[in-house]
Structure 1
């Protein structure tokens, strides 16, 4: 039996780390995704990067998952992350992210309802 819940994919397109999540998730899911993101960052060889996180099909997460996300975001604050875009269809997920994940993080974060708008926002930093 696997402890990881939900489905996810991490890929790199140029200097954008693209994460897609679906279903419910727990701290083991966040740990697995975090390892893949760390590998992607290493592969970018210390170059500035963006993160595009598609959570349109996420049902929710455990409190431990949000704690693990918050801890990982503190680590991300020390990396060459330029900006992070979250694709969501729900204002509720935006509010949860702001209150549980980003509470102590200094990242540039914006929320969008589609990938193209997020990528256009990234272009404003170049």
Structure 2
């Protein structure tokens, strides 16, 4: 019962913790979804596995760019808006990956998703 009282006394803090945990759960799922779906993406874009395999280093490169840009965010600024916006953008981009039928648009989606994932990790 002590835990429930603590939650009642700190509702906003508890909700922030729950949402932050969900953001990082979604971030992990968005990062891990590319690997198991490579064969399906190969069929969807009618391309070779070698070409579709470029999605993994492209995502890593985007992650690196996002992490570098994330260091430019001032330390004293409120990071919650950055987390919310980046999470929404990653969710939209991961959804769009499954709707694309062109390899280059998927590569661009994965690159942008990697950039915003890198920003989430730094925030």
Q: TM-score, normalised by structure 1?
A: 0.25
Q: Which has the higher helix share?
A: 2
More strand by percentage: 1
Greater relative contact order structure (CA < 8 Å, 6+ sep): 2
For the pair shown, which has the larger CA radius of gyration, 1 or 2? Answer: 2
